[in-house]
Amino acid sequence: MADTYFAYALFRIELPAHRKHHEKRGETSYKAMTLVAIGINHKTASVALREKVAFGPDILDEALKSLASASKTNEAVIVSTCNRTELYTNNVDAEQAIHWLSEFHNLDEAELRSCIYLHQGEKAVQHLLRVSAGLDSLVLGEPQILGQIKKSYSDAKAVGTVSHTIDRLFQHTFKVAKQIRTDTDIGASAVSVAFAAVNLARHIFEDLGSAKVLLIGAGETIELVARHLGEQGATDLIVANRTLSRAEGMADEFGAKAITLAQIPDHLPTADIVISSTAAPLPILGKGMVATALKKRRQQAMLLVDIAVPRDIEAEVGELENAYLYTVDDLQGIVQKNMANRLEAAEQAEAIASAQAHDFVEWLRGLDSVDTIRQFRSQSEAVKKEALVAALNKLQQGSDAEAVLTELANKLTNKLIHAPTQSLSKAARAGDLESLEILRRALGINDN
């Protein structure tokens, strides 16, 4: 063992002077061999660039194997969604990983670098924890990203690019994400108009599975509403749209029935919940149509949620008894209040992510100390065995026992203190007080 590595051998401490010496020679230090996370997301890159950097199912296996081959531990996980692409590796040079990403997608490296974020060590762990908890998402606290990360981990495991450290990292991530969801209100409040509409319906109708829902429109907002309704147990859906084929396309995805706008009067009386979002210039539901429907329902209550601008439902509908009308302005108020609640919860979640990232890195360092202590003990045992064998041979040859024991003690002491003595002398001569103090602590030297 090199003299200047005595303290390192005990506690994986690399002396500052020695580290500088290695950096001058261009060698990779221990601290460079760590967890790495690089990526781009909706905050750093345009949709056009995110599309170019994405990893589809057809190239993912090849990409994982190629990226993992650059790691000394053959570990890699790729997270690729519409809003982000991120690489997680272990024991790989960060610059090499960035170059790999640009080369794999045949992109201009300078353009890519301008949009990339890089995290290493504890910061990489903290970033993954933040992403999994929805703290780095377009919609704060959204839960879908955790499922996407779990799938990315499963895909990498199936390919064989998940080993001990990355495996523990992602298992830890899933545990912490669950803890954040349980211990904070990060995902408790609706922060999109579509989710707020469904949340409102869920509070009025305790069991959405028994409610009949009429969705008017077939655009992105209504599609999101339908998705949220399905997550909340709603199964009886009707989709009404000006173009029947568009309504049928969405209805097929959600197991719903498709109708035209002209057929709404026939189906409105059966609807417990009506949610509308079209681009129509004039209202689709008037006071008279809703009044007729309520009469056929024998005044059974109806919830109507209008999230269109301009309005799809006449404001006068709200004057009808048993018609409960909410507009996009009502929902925006709910969203703003809930966003404030999520921001407060996000502070708690950030604290959990930071503490848990630190704990994980401490665990990694613990593994290093176990390996180092094992090596140090093995080396010390070898020194002891060599000295003991020599002493026993001398005793068998009839040498004086007291002289043999004295020689054994002297040789053991000299061999065990040789390396640290050299390191202490070198640090003292160089005036390197920091290294000298590290060695003193490692050797248990005190002024008393």
Active site residues: 82
First and final C-alpha spacing in the chain: 29
The tokens for 38 are 């690089």
DSSP state of 313: B
The tokens for 339 are 């966003």
The closest alpha carbon to 261, from 193, 201, 312, belongs to 312
Which residue matches tokens 């969604």?
A: 81
SS3 442: helix
Give ∠ CA 238-240-241 in degrees, rounded to 5: 150
Q: Alpha-carbon distance 247 to 378, whole Å?
A: 73
Q: Alpha-carbon distance 53 to 117, whole Å?
A: 14
List C-alpha distances in Å: 280 to 216, 277, 331, 332.
11, 9, 20, 21
Q: Alpha-carbon distance 191 to 13, whole Å?
A: 47
Task: Tell me how crowded residue 259 is: count the other CB atoms within 10 A of its CB.
Answer: 20
SS3 55: coil
Which conformational region is residue 91 in: left (phi greater than 0), alpha (psi within -120 to 50 degrees), or beta? left
SS3 395: helix
Chain length of the chain? 448
Strand ranges, E, within 284-380: 302-306, 323-327
The tokens for 358 are 């630190």
Residue pair 324/275 in contact (Cβ under 8 Å)? The answer is: no
Q: Alpha-carbon distance 401 to 347, whole Å?
A: 70
Contacts of residue 386, defined as CB under 8 A and 6 or more positions apart, other chains included, come to none
DSSP state of 244: H
